[in-house]
Copies of this chain bind each other. A is one copy, B any other.
Amino acid sequence: MTRRLVRGAGAARPDEIRRHNLGLLLEQVHRDGELTRAELTRRLGLNRSTIGALVADLTSLGLLAEHVPSGSERAGRPSHQVGPRPDGPYVVAVDIEVDRVTGAAVGLGGRVLARRETRLEAGRSSPADVAEVIAAMVDPLGAALPAVAWPVGLAASIPGTIRRTDGVVEFAPNLHWQEVGFADLLAAKVRCGLPIHLGNDADLGALAEHLRGAGRQRDDVVFLNGKIGVGAGIIADGHSLRGHDGLAGEIGHVMLDPDGPPCRCGGRGCVETYIGEGALLRLAGRTAAPSRESVHEIVQAARAGEARALNGVRAVGVSLGRTVASLVNLLNPQVVIMGGSLSCVLDVARAEVETELNRRAMTASRRGVELRTAGLGEDSSLLGAAELAFRPLLADPADFAPLPNVAPLRNAAT
Partner-B contacts on A (CB < 8 A): 161, 163, 170-171, 218-220, 232, 236-237, 239, 241-251, 253-259, 265-267, 322, 325-326, 329-334, 359-365, 368
Contact = CB atoms under 8 A, between A and B. Distances in A.
Contacts of A232: 330
A361 B219 CA distance: 28
A190 B321 CA distance: 45
A331 B259 CA distance: 24
Given A244-B334, A247-B365, A257-B257, 4 more contacts: A171-B364, A236-B241, A250-B330, A257-B259
Identical subunits present: 2
11 contacts: A171-B364, A218-B244, A232-B330, A239-B239, A244-B332, A248-B332, A250-B329, A250-B365, A255-B256, A265-B362, A267-B359
A247 B332 CA distance: 6
B364 A248 contact: no
A239 B237 contact: yes
Contacts of A360: 253, 255, 267
Nearest to A361: B253
A242 B250 contact: no
B254 A332 contact: no
B237 A330 contact: no
A265 B325 CA distance: 13
A171 B364 CA distance: 9
A359 B258 CA distance: 11
A202 to B, nearest CB: 12
A218 B243 CA distance: 12
Contacts of A362: 161, 171, 247, 250, 253, 265
B257 A243 contact: no
Contacts of A247: 332, 362, 364-365, 368
Contacts of A325: 254-255, 267
Nearest to A236: B241
B332 A258 contact: no
B364 A322 contact: no
A325 B255 CA distance: 8
Nearest to A322: B255
Contacts of A248: 330-332
Contacts of A220: 243-244
Contacts of A368: 244-245, 247
Contacts of A333: 243-244
A168 B407 CA distance: 64
Contacts of A161: 362, 364
A3 B361 CA distance: 46
Contacts of A267: 325, 359-360
A251 B330 contact: yes
Given A170-B364, A237-B241, A368-B245, A326 B254 contact: yes
A237 B360 CA distance: 29
A373 B247 CA distance: 24
A397 to B, nearest CB: 26
Contacts of A361: 253
Contact of A330 (B218, B265, B330): B330
Query: 7 closest Cβ contacts across the A-B interface?
Result: A243-B332, A220-B244, A248-B332, A250-B329, A247-B332, A254-B326, A244-B334
A91 B340 CA distance: 51
A363 B329 CA distance: 25
Residue from A241, A244, A326, A334 with most neighbouring chain B CB atoms (10 Å): A244
Contacts of A364: 161, 163, 170-171, 245, 247
B365 A245 contact: yes
B257 A258 contact: yes
Contacts of A249: 330
Contacts of A331: 241, 243, 248
